[in-house]
Amino acid sequence: QISDPQACDQMYESLVRIHTNFYKNKYPRLKDTTFTGVTVEDCRMILATDILKQMEDMKKGTWRRLREKFSAKKPEEDSK
C-alpha cells in the first residue's frame, strides 16, 4: 500500500519528465557549446590528441625516454 498516492504520482511524473528530456526539448540551447565557448567537437579533438600523447609517453620505457632526451641534446653540444 502507498501511503500518499498523490505524492507518488507527482514523483513518477517528475521522473518521466527527466527520462524523456522534457526540459531539454522545452528550452533548447541556441548553440551547442560549453561554458568556455568551445564546441563539443573541439573539446573532443583536443582531449583525444592530449590523451594520445600521454599514452605514447606512458608506453615508452624509462631508458628510452632518457635516450631520447640525451640524444636530442647532443647536436646542440656539438655545435658549441
pLDDT tens, position by position, 46-55? 777 777 777 7
Which pTM was predicted? 0.39
* Count of structural domains within the chain: 1
**78 found inside a domain:** no
**79 found inside a domain:** no
**9 found inside a domain:** yes
The C-alpha cell 522545452 sits at 26
pLDDT tens, position by position, 17-38? 999 999 989 988 777 767 777 7
Range of the domain at 30: 5-72
Alpha helices for the chain (secondary structure H): 5-19, 22-26, 40-59, 62-79
**AA identity, residue 33:** T
